[in-house]
Structure 1
Amino acid sequence: MKDLKNAVFNALPGAAAIVAEDGSILSTNSSWVHGKEDFHKLGMAQPGSNYFDHCQKAVEEGDDYALKIIFGMREVLDGVKSNYELTMPCPDNEQFPKKSWCKLTISLLDSEENCVLVFFEDVSKNMRVVRALRETQERYIQQFKNSLSGIIISSPEGDIYDANPAACKILGYSKRELIEGGREIVMDLDHPVNQKAYNIRDEKSFYEGEKNYKHKDGEELVVESSSVLYKNENGELRSLNTFRDISKQKETLINLKHEKKFTEAVINSIPGTFYVLNKEMDILRYNEAVTDDLGYTPEEIESNNALHYFPEDEHEKIINSLEDAFEDGSTHIVSKVISKNDGIRVYHLLANRFRTEKGEYLVGTGTDVTDLVDIEKEKDKNYDMLSQLFESSPLPMAMFSPDNKIVKINNSFTELYGYTKLEAVGKDVHRLLMDGEALGDAQEISEQVFSGQSYTDEVERFTETGEKLTVLMSAIPIIHEKEVVAAYVIYVDLSAQKKLENDLQKSLGEKEILLQEVHHRVKNNLAVMAGLIDLQIMEEGDLNVENKLNDIRSRIFSIAKIHENLYSNESMVSIQFDDYLRTIMEALPQKGLTESDELNITVDAMPIILNLNQAVPLGLAVNELMNIVFSTHPNGRNLKVLLQKDQSNLVLVFEGNAISTELFERNGEVESFPSLLVSIFLSQIHGKMNVSNNGVSRLVIEFEQMDVKGSSSSLTEEQSSIFN
């Protein structure tokens, strides 16, 4: 591809050079190097020299054209103009014949580097044509007919009066067709390039530059034209247009630009960094990854030697590796690289030698492997840590292979089973620790583990001396690249724990029996107290005192029923509250109601288990509510009790005409003692009570079911102060 680029460059019809922004001549074509007689002395500077210095010397010798070239090139490099053109005479000396003319064109190249193409072309023939026309008609006729450049004589309005053979050949029309068709058939006046050309010519009476013509077959031609306005012998204004087809030359320049862009795109698409070095280790070419990954500017890269980007302790290794590459043809090396973005990074560098006429070079790529190196270091670190963990673990551990052979054991394994590493390694792990009857189960364990599943169970294993141990065994597969390559087995001696569990279970059973006995005795003692109160009620003649004693008896009854529920169930800390609620409702006639009261009670309760510390306050609250309702309204007829649960919220509803909502309207009066007790009991379970009477009296208690800890009868400091 580079050879193609050089071929295109050398195909330009004239001497050409590429000049950098600082004036350095980067490259020249063969016409520039070998054809000094074909162009102006200002093009004699050679690669490696500075073109601005070359022109400056000519200025000092009195050459005004050299100064114009300096200014013109500067304008193009600074972006003031896209190109600069200058036609000038060649000096009169032995190398350059008298009255020779050359045309200089300076064009900005489309590249990352700010460079221009300097192009010298011999235009002596065009100039001679003009001069010949002015000097003698005969010479004009000869030049007109024989010129290789097309010549058209026309009026400023576009009428064509004459065209030479070259013009007819370039445009594809005959002379008659051109004269009859006029300028319109060969030129689009609305084209921006043509408009600019005619504006300059009308202003200066002379134009030299590019125009766009149309061939007879419709093809657009790019021509280099010289257009001069003059008056003929009759005083009529005429235009002399001399032109030549430069379409191929423009196509060549476009191809050069496309070639350059294609080359840069290929280089920039290479993964990682790309570079070209000479033997002096100068970086001649690089891709965007060098600037993006390492953070250096193009100016820094191009002004520094390649060793600048490596730490000093890597220099010797880098130099030796590159010398080997120039000698053997290739090299690869892993080295630290200095990045402005991320500090020290690790790169894997590859380089291959290639040769050109100008010397030997290395082309190479670099890949950032810092993360891979860190991963490998982390793997080594983790392996060391796991090895230390294995060896120093207080739990007995062994590693075994897919054929059940022990690979290694730790010291805790030796302490538990009594086998040394020499005695255990290489043995079948199951046959070493099990008796023959259980070996079938052991094979199933191995198959499960080496299929990729862990195994944990309580098993029996034997020590070297034959002692049977109960152990918790966990077998864990070791997976590498999706394949189980080995397994760890961990043993936890449960012998002491099993003995302790048996002792605790026995002790717990004894304590449960004692606790049941306590609840039973508390219930019996409360029943005795209730019986004594019943005897007192039978002897009491005062109805108010009798009612008070009934309230006390009902409270004792509520608590006794809770203890009865506790010793009757398996749980010592919770009760089946729906059963308890039915028992309380069935005991309502004991509150002083008679058979003539015709009380109809319906209980609809969901099965709900309540913590003792919620059940006691709720049970007492229900008891006090019943005291309030039925001690005042003994003639109620219906009472419906609902117990429901919505997630963790419990709802207890009392509904019917046995409830008088007026009893809960204080109207400024001091709250009664039973009502105060209800408030206290509900506050202990964080409950709330709503009373309504929309045709049917309704009382609703809501609270959140929780596993409350602490005494079931505990009061808050605020509640306790009520009784002081």
Structure 2
Amino acid sequence: MSPENRIDVPVEILENISDVFISIDPNFRVTYINKLAEEFSGREKRNIIGKTFLEAFPQTQNNVFHEVYFQLVNKKEFTEREKFEFEAVFDEPPLKNWYTVRVFSSKNGFNIFFQDITSRKTAELELKESEEKYRSLIETIPDSTERERQWSNLISNLPGMVYHCLNDNKWTMTFISHQCKEITGYDPSEIINNDIKAYNDLIFEEDREHVWSTVQNALEKSEPYETTYRIVTRQNEIKWVWERGVGVEDENGELSLEGFIEDINDQKLAEEALKESEEKYRALFESDPNYTILLGLDGYLLDVNPAATMITGLSKKELVGKHFIDLTIFPEEELVSHREIFSHFVTGKTIAPYESRIYDYNGKIRWIEIKQSPIRIHGEITHVLLICSDITQRKKAENKIKESLKEKEVLLQEIHHRVKNNMQIVSSLLNLQKQYVDEEETVNILMESQNRVKSMAMIHEKLYQSHNLTSINIFDYVQSLVKDLFASYSTPASQITPIIEIDNVNLNIETAVPCGLIINELVSNSLKYAFPQGRGGKIILSLKLRGKYYELIISDNGIGFPEDLDFKNTESLGLQLVNSLVGQINGEIELNRSQGAMFKIIFSKLTYKERI
């Protein structure tokens, strides 16, 4: 895999690499494994996540890895090794596999790579154990062609290239196996004796000193050498390789090298991509101004960012490893709800952002908005990321707005109350004036005026009594209005029956006042003229919402409206007022004279317009 084909999403990389990958948390419980790790354990992922490492992978006991593991558990000083090998024993069927292991510290535990090197290790051990046997055997073969065939068969099944080279600054190859072509892109004949290319020239320039010093230090101690480095292939591709070898002396005491080189590019790129991704995540995590906390599914804190430690006044060490319920940052009365919300979330339920309070480092209450984000691997939630935004200033602003609104509501209630009282005074004055007038027509005019004032005063009364100071429930209002009108005209309900059919409609004051006056005029008109000489009947008042518009119908089954009277062009003050008010609410009015009188008005709710 070339660098440009690197995948930035760690999970995709980890699922496609040729290594076993296992991630463990600070409590040494398994938090993630890839598919090869499932095969390695012989169990499904759901039966492994959450278990301790040794419970999940018993085959790693009684070997080098076991020693390293206990260094971590006992919190001894642990120096990351480039890699080490161990032998794992599997019971069913009985077999032994060899693995190269790399252990890396991570933000919330350790990441472990297991590379299966059984075939290589087997080949190495077999080669080492039988080297003398093969050498003596082959040397007894008089036919050099047969001897060459035997050596060729031996190395052809190895997963990398075998070489013999001089210990010079060019690493001059005297022998290199055919796998050279696959790994480097060069034919062995082009590398041998530096014919086209010296092997040292293939080594990435920045890595040459490292390779040289590693090999020479091992030779000085008469030990095998092992190293990883980069080469540049014929296709100009940078590739990671692993090399292991040993110094050998010929009969003249001349020192040369024999060894094995393997392509580990995919594994190395996966490690680098994971490290790069983690560094990006760490940078974002650490610089986030929100209080960010990583939780395990058991509710224990695995990581916190600097913002979280700063606001709580607790160090990272004091926070990580504790259950979020055991922290002293939440008010006691909110702990139960936090526990309930978290339990719902880890089972896969969607939880909307919610507000909570915490104590800061000074013991003062701060408001936060908590967003819980699941971290999923293959559809399964493995961790929970809490992102807590400080909304203290927003809450203070909201409280100020609420207080201001409350003050305005009280003020508005007082205004409506005073307007209603003033109108009541006007109504009372009109009522007193009636007592000093003898003419019936004048008395009627004063009573009609009094009813009009009452209809408007009643709206202001309903408004200041309502929780909503901008609109009133029209049904309650109309019932009270009609009841007052029947009382004004001394009309018993046994003679004329009021029938009110109104939807659950709320009208603002802009619309309610003209509607109230229209109802007052048309109902008054029916009470005065539709039922002469004690005649009985019905007055029906209906208000329905029809889409975007309202339909108001006021009808009676009395003697009917005079045929020769044009209600839109009349000297009657009441009807003139009705037509004017219908225009005010952008409505249309029509009269049906077929059965008594039926006025139908279609109108829309008015919106507030600023007065000058």
Question: Normalising by structure 1, what TM-score?
Answer: 0.41
Q: Relative contact order: is structure 1 or structure 2 higher (C-alpha 8 Å, sep ≥ 6)?
A: 2
Compare CA radii of gyration and give the structure with the larger one.
1
